[in-house]
Amino acid sequence: MKAKYFASCPKGLEDLLVQEAKSFGVDEVLFKVKGGLQFDLPEDKLFDFFLHSRVASRFYLKLQHFKIKKLDDLHAKNINYPWTEVMGANQSFKVQTLFDFQAKKEFRNSMVASLKLKDALVDHFRQKTNKRPDVDTKMPDVQILLRVEGSQKPDEFYATTWLDLTGKPLSNRGYRPPQMRAPLRENLAAGLVLSTDWDSKNEFLLDPMCGSGTILVEAQMIRLGIAPTYLRVGRMINQQSEEFALQRLLWVLNNPKRLEAFQRSCDRVHKQAQKALAAPVDFPLYGVDNHPQALEDAKTTLRLALMNDTHIHVSAGNALSARPPEFPEKGIILTNPPYGDRLGVSEELEELYHDFGEILKSEFKGHRAYIITGSPELRKQISLKTAQRQTFFNGDIECRLLKYELY
């Protein structure tokens, strides 16, 4: 267990997260699990990975790794940990516990494990400071992740405590208003773009059911090489705001050199984004939607993302009337059509998928199409041969990214 850090991501994007980790200097991924990976990395490189990862949801720092036989052991193993070096008595905290299959079968209730760890932390503060931090399950200052996993021995389990370095999830880029609902998380949308074979410098990207424009903004960030944290970093620099839990940790630890190193990484992100957004682009990305509110949401998204019509062009229109742009000559269609709910799909949706497949076949010859769906029934309505399929999870919904070569 040499891993010092854990990065989480939507299930199905783990391999993309591994690729990112290696691009930022991770020589060996020490442990890949569903929904993330454990790794080690020098701190200066960690800052860049943290700020530039497109698919990660959260980053964690490992605090402890130990063996337990019962949940009561969690209190004894944690009461003497130096929690005062992690947080202050005046800060609030939250504990979240994740069990693997073996631990879930044995212990069942993860809330009991969270309570044991919470009591140990509070008791430690009482002993050391005669004060106790408060628990806040909605907006805590500090978040702690407890992972409990089985071992080769049936009566022995491994427990690891991780400190969240993120705060608000990294999927919260800052270009989506709180009240705006979108079917895809931002980091999942980025992962889908990265899962295509799109040549971002020379090919168009069209989303004919673009909704609030999440896919388009993530694609444009990839195309321009902009770090996905650029808006939050901008607020941190311009408004002196706290955007990441990592900032708070570096302040608590009172280590000016480490805080300065993180700030230098942020400065690079900020300057590169400003330069990229100010530079002219050869052609925009394209979005179409026939719902007036969706178009308003997309325009709001572009405004908050500091992008304009030269970066992404959105227009009103029916997906069945969509056509390839005149320039460039080649490109991809990437879209996330509605796929009903768990109770089934309607005839209207079945007709949409069938007719959309026919439009792709007749109007987009020479291009490639990528369609995201969580419905096997709707997938069957597209009368095209699937060239490739990838599985991922949109929340708890198992979905497919389907590729079609359009001859």
356's tokens: 């959309």
Q: Where does 186-225+280-405 sit in CATH, by number?
A: 3.40.50.150
Give me the mean pLDDT over the 322-328 stretch.
95
Q: Residues 47, 265: contact at Cβ < 8 Å?
A: yes
- Per-residue pLDDT band for 322 (boundaries 50, 70, 90) equals very high
Distance of CA 249 to the CA centre of its chain: 22
Which of 335, 368, 338, 325 shows the shortest CA–CA distance to 216?
Answer: 335
Distance CA 172, CA 57 (A): 9
- Alpha helices, DSSP H, located in 70-109: 73-78, 101-107
Taking 90 as the threshold, does the pLDDT of residue 335 lie above it?
yes
In the chain, where are the structural domains located? 5-164, 186-225+280-405
CATH domain 5-164 topology: VC0802-like (3.30.2130)
- Alpha helices, DSSP H, located in 240-278: 245-253, 256-278
Express each pLDDT in 184-196 by its tens digit.
999 999 999 999 9
pLDDT at 2: 62
Q: Residues 281, 328: contact at Cβ < 8 Å?
A: no
Distance CA 49, CA 20 (A): 8
- The pTM score is 0.94
Which of 399, 367, 368, 217 shows the shortest CA–CA distance to 306?
Answer: 217
126 Cβ contact partners less than 8 Å away, ≥ 6 residues apart: 132
Residue in the block written with tokens 């040549």: 199
pLDDT at 252: 65
Give me the mean pLDDT over the 220-224 stretch.
98
Long-range contacts of 14-23 (CB under 8 A, 24+ apart): 16/55, 16/191, 16/194, 16/195, 17/53, 17/55, 17/56, 20/49, 20/52, 20/53, 20/54, 20/55, 20/56, 21/49
Give me the mean pLDDT over the 377-398 stretch.
94
Express each pLDDT in 128-139 by its tens digit.
999 999 999 999
346's tokens: 């309607």
pLDDT at 100: 92
Taking 60 as the threshold, does the pLDDT of residue 1 lie above it?
no
Taking 70 as the threshold, does the pLDDT of residue 5 lie above it?
yes
pLDDT at 181: 82
- Per-residue pLDDT band for 342 (boundaries 50, 70, 90) equals very low
Number of H helices, E strands in the chain: 13, 14
Which of 247, 281, 282 shows the shortest CA–CA distance to 263?
Answer: 247
Give me the mean pLDDT over the 343-348 stretch.
70
Output the average pLDDT for the chain.
94
150 Cβ contact partners less than 8 Å away, ≥ 6 residues apart: 100, 101, 102, 103, 106, 157, 158
Give me the mean pLDDT over the 52-63 stretch.
97
Give me the mean pLDDT over the 133-150 stretch.
94
Residue 102 CB coordination number (10 Å):
14
Give me the mean pLDDT over the 205-219 stretch.
97
Express each pLDDT in 155-181 by its tens digit.
999 999 999 999 999 999 999 988 888
